[in-house]
């Protein structure tokens, strides 16, 4: 039954583990679990088709109560549609279940008796979700911009992977921690997406700041607003808090809500980066702390 | 710095699950060799093993594995190999891939981990199905898979939680042989089970647990001797229970004979003598005996006696 060449015997050494020992294999295995082909094809395929359609259909379409301005359309679509919903949803689908799936299948038990710290495993699985999320988010943002047909300058193209990465990290950290620590975390994450990223991000005043993506959008706007403003006076007007209330007279409900929103200035890019970094590091530190102290009976 | 002898120490360890006491001031030491943890469901065996593996933190007391606290201490995990009770597997991954991955977490290179994984799977009897998905394995094959992932990094402390569940007789023999080899190599092996003869065959030392407490600790022989102090019940199926009862009450060790619809239940302190003499008594008295069934061989009875 034994193989011909047994491996050499192990000498058990009582020495400390190097920092982040086991990160590489745990990251690689996590990536393999996240990037299962049917799942990735599903998320990527639906995302690309949807975003191509959005980019092609929304940008330049004539709508009542809205100026016919392709640059304003794309600026709004990237800001509210892509960064408001699509990026968080992709992050949710690729990052959130990275750790929970190990707990659910009870395969976490195998990791608890390996020389890999819980913190390292926790971080490895997070980044194993962030990488595909980043790639997919960048892809759908690029597809949207391409489908718009506008001749975009390099600053806009460059902003896409940056925003996708910061969005994946910040909002992904929230989803990841919530789903890891709470049994019904996926429901909480979905509720968060539609209430905080949807409703609050479109509501009045400082409520918008409760949305994590609001701060991510701050980075995006810092990188692209000058470009869009140079091409469109309507973007300049939208960036200006003052507007003419008479415009509301014949607008539809969504338009009214959008326009009624008391515009809050986006964070400066440096501040936005700081806030996103703080959110990501704070959430991951909290998650790692809780995982490190928790019991895992893992009963059948 | 080379690590010392594989050993496990528990000092006054208690663990609650809410208001339920899972483990109650348990103190024990385990060294090289096979130790069987015996107890009915809910006795605290798995709780003890999970505390030893660092999955649970004791509410009271101290646990040391090779001199170190195991809870959330990755360093000591180099030396532990756990075969968990629950079925845990990745649905789409092959046995070889999973064991390779888990072995890599011990710091082995990919190539070395693959070699070790293959060797461990072969040793566990899964050499023919290395590339098959664990999801398609039978219960017995999954037990072997769990053994393989515990073996691959060559630990010297083995925690095997109900390892023989679901194995066929051939599988049990193979599995038991591996456990014996590990013990012969100087490893500390803890095997839990709720089946007396299973542990009896594997372990020189048996620790009996019930309701979170250690009730008995010693060799299988010592525990049997302890048990012989308690009366055992034997059911005898016969059409002439009354006549049989009058004969049996005179036999040494018999304290009581209860008549039933199918014969009699005899309570004796010397079941061996009763079983030896039963044939002779039946023949001499011309009483047709259909069956003689010891009622106390099951583990629950053993625990009932030990808790008296």
ipTM: 0.85
pLDDT at position A102 over 80: yes
pLDDT at position A1 over 50: no
Chain B: closest CA distance from residue A188 (Å): 26
- Dump pLDDT digits (tens) for B175-217: 999 999 999 999 999 999 877 777 878 888 999 998 899 988 9
Phi/psi-derived region of residue B241, left when phi > 0, alpha when psi is between -120 and 50, beta in every other case: alpha
Residue in chain A nearest B185 by alpha carbon: A9
Does the distance separating the beta carbons of A118 and B105 come in below 8 Å?
A: no
pLDDT at position B250 over 60: yes
The predicted structure's pLDDT at residue A17: 82
Chain B: closest CA distance from residue A166 (Å): 29
Residue in chain B nearest A296 by alpha carbon: B55
In chain B, what are the domains? 8-220 (3.40.50.300), 226-307 (3.30.70.100)
Mark which residues 168-227 of B lie under 8 Å from A by CB: 174
Chain A: closest CA distance from residue B188 (Å): 14
Chain B: closest CA distance from residue A261 (Å): 48
Chain B residues touching residue A1 (CB < 8 angstroms):
122-123, 125, 127, 174
Does the distance separating the beta carbons of A116 and B74 come in below 8 Å?
A: yes
Q: Residue A17 is nearest to which of B74, B102, B123, comparing CB atoms?
A: B74
Which of A15, A20, A24, A114 to probe the B interface (max B CBs under 10 A)?
A114
Confidence of residue A278 (pLDDT cuts 50, 70, 90): very high
Confidence of residue A198 (pLDDT cuts 50, 70, 90): confident
Chain B: closest CA distance from residue A137 (Å): 26
Q: Residue B53 is nearest to which of A6, A16, A113, comparing CB atoms?
A: A113
The predicted structure's pLDDT at residue B2: 55
Chain A residues touching residue B188 (CB < 8 angstroms):
none
Chain B residues touching residue A297 (CB < 8 angstroms):
17, 50, 55-56
Q: Is B20 on the interface with A (CB under 8 A)?
A: no
Chain B: closest CA distance from residue A133 (Å): 22
User: Mean pLDDT across the stretch A259-279?
Assistant: 81
Contacts for B300-303 with beta carbons within 8 Å, 24 or more apart? B300/B40, B301/B232, B301/B233, B302/B196, B302/B208, B302/B227, B303/B39, B303/B40, B303/B43, B303/B208, B303/B210, B303/B215
- Dump pLDDT digits (tens) for B16-71: 998 889 999 999 999 999 999 988 888 899 999 999 999 999 999 999 999 999 99
Does the distance separating the beta carbons of B154 and A10 come in below 8 Å?
A: yes
Does the distance separating the beta carbons of A297 and B1 come in below 8 Å?
A: no
**A84 close to B43: Cβ distance less than 8 angstroms:** no
- Dump pLDDT digits (tens) for A59-88: 878 776 677 889 999 999 998 889 988 999
Residue in chain B nearest A290 by alpha carbon: B72
Q: Is B3 on the interface with A (CB under 8 A)?
A: yes
Does the distance separating the beta carbons of B86 and A300 come in below 8 Å?
A: yes
The predicted structure's pLDDT at residue B283: 86
Does the distance separating the beta carbons of B84 and A106 come in below 8 Å?
A: yes
pTM of the model: 0.83
- Dump pLDDT digits (tens) for A155-192: 999 999 999 999 999 999 999 999 999 988 889 999 99
């Amino acid at each position: 039954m034994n193989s011909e060449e047994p491996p050499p015997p192990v000498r058990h050494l009582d020495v400390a583990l190097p920092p982040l020992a086991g990160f590489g294999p745990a990251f690689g295995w996590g990536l393999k679990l996240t990037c299962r082909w049917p799942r990735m094809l599903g998320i990527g395929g639906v995302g690309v088709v949807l975003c191509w359609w959005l980019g092609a259909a929304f940008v330049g379409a004539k709508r009542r109560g809205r100026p016919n301005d392709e640059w304003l359309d794309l600026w709004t679509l990237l800001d509210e549609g892509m960064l408001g919903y699509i990026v968080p949803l992709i992050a949710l689908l690729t990052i959130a279940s990275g750790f929970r799936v190990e707990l659910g299948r009870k395969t976490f038990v195998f990791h608890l008796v390996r020389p890999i710290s819980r913190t390292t495993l926790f971080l490895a699985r997070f980044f194993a979700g962030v990488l595909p999320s980043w790639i997919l988010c960048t892809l759908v943002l690029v597809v949207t911009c391409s489908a718009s047909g506008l001749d975009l300058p390099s600053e806009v193209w460059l902003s896409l992977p940056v925003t996708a990465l910061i969005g994946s990290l910040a909002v992904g950290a929230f989803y990841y921690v919530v789903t890891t620590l709470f049994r019904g975390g996926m429901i909480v994450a979905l509720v968060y997406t539609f209430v905080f990223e949807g409703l609050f991000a479109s509501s009045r005043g400082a409520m918008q700041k409760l949305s994590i993506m609001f701060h991510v959008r701050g980075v995006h706007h810092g990188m692209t607003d000058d470009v869009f403003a140079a091409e469109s006076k309507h973007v300049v007007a939208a960036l200006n808090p003052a507007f003419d209330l008479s415009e509301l007279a014949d607008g539809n409900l969504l338009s009214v809500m959008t326009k009624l929103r008391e515009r809050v200035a986006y964070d400066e890019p440096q501040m936005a980066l700081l806030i996103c970094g703080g959110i990501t590091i704070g959430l991951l530190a909290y998650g790692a702390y809780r995982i490190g102290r928790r019991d895992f009976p893992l009963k059948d | 710095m080379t690590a010392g002898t594989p050993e496990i120490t528990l000092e006054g360890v208690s663990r609650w699950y809410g208001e339920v006491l899972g483990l109650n001031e348990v103190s024990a030491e385990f060294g090289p060799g096979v130790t069987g943890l015996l107890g009915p469901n809910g006795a605290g065996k798995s709780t003890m093993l999970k505390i030893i593996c660092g999955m649970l933190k004791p509410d009271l007391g101290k646990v040391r594995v090779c001199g170190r606290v195991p809870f959330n201490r990755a360093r000591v995990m180099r030396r532990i190999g756990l075969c968990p009770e629950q079925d845990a597997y990745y649905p789409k991954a092959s046995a070889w891939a999973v064991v390779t991955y888990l072995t890599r977490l011990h710091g082995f290179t990919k190539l070395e981990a693959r070699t070790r994984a293959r060797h461990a799977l072969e040793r566990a009897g899964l050499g023919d199905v290395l590339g098959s998905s664990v999801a398609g394995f039978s219960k017995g094959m999954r037990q072997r898979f769990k053994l393989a992932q515990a073996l691959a990094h060559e630990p010297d402390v083995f925690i095997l939680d109900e390892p023989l569940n679901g194995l066929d007789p051939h599988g049990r023999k193979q599995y038991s042989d591996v456990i014996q080899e590990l013990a012969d190599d100087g490893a500390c092996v803890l095997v839990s089970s709720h089946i007396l003869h299973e542990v009896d065959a594997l372990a020189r030392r048996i620790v009996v647990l019930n309701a979170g407490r250690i009730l008995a600790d010693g060799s299988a022989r010592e525990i049997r001797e302890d048990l012989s102090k308690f009366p055992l019940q034997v059911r005898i199926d016969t059409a002439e229970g009354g006549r049989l009862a009058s004969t049996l009450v005179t036999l040494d060790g018999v304290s009581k004979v209860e008549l039933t619809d199918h014969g009699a239940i005899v309570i004796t302190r010397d079941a061996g003598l009763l079983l030896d003499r039963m044939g002779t008594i039946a023949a001499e008295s011309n009483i047709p005996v259909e069956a003689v069934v010891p009622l106390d061989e099951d583990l629950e009875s053993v625990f009932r006696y030990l808790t008296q």
